[in-house]
Amino acid sequence: MTKELSLIVPTYNEASNIQELTERIALSLRNLDSEVIFVDDKSPDGTAEAIEFFGKIHECFRVIRRNGRGGLSSAVLGRPVRKTATQFRKKYAPIVPNVEF
């Protein structure tokens, strides 16, 4: 089934922000058939694990763990992310999570 929106969220050392971020995203997307793909660059603070925990609550959340090349642009535009998102989406929306709460 095609999703209306694939939201890409690059992360690095964001574990302390993941709960609030996932709650806000889930609330904002509650009326859309969407998926949220978090792309984590090997965060040592447990960011990917926090995303997986909240992914059990919000089924549309997934995490891609990147071990190689890091960086914001490749997290959003990299081949594994594009391939994953384009399989499901009508709209593809990368976001930059450098927002103060």
Whether the pLDDT of residue 81 is over 60: the answer is no
C-alpha–C-alpha distance, residues 99 and 21, integer Å:
10
Q: Place 94 in a pLDDT band, splitting at 50, 70 and 90.
A: low
**What CATH number does domain 3-94 carry, 3.90.550.10, 3.40.50.720, 3.40.50.10490, 3.40.50.300?**
3.90.550.10
pLDDT tens-place string over residues 45-64: 999 999 999 989 988 898 98
47 or 71, greater pLDDT: 47
Joined tokens for residue 65:
């763990």
Is the pTM higher than 0.85? The answer reads no
**d(Cα 55, Cα 53) in Å, to the nearest integer?**
5
Q: In which order are the strands placed within the sheet that holds 34-40?
A: 61-65, 34-40, 3-11, 89-94
How many helices (H) and strands (E) in the chain? 4, 4
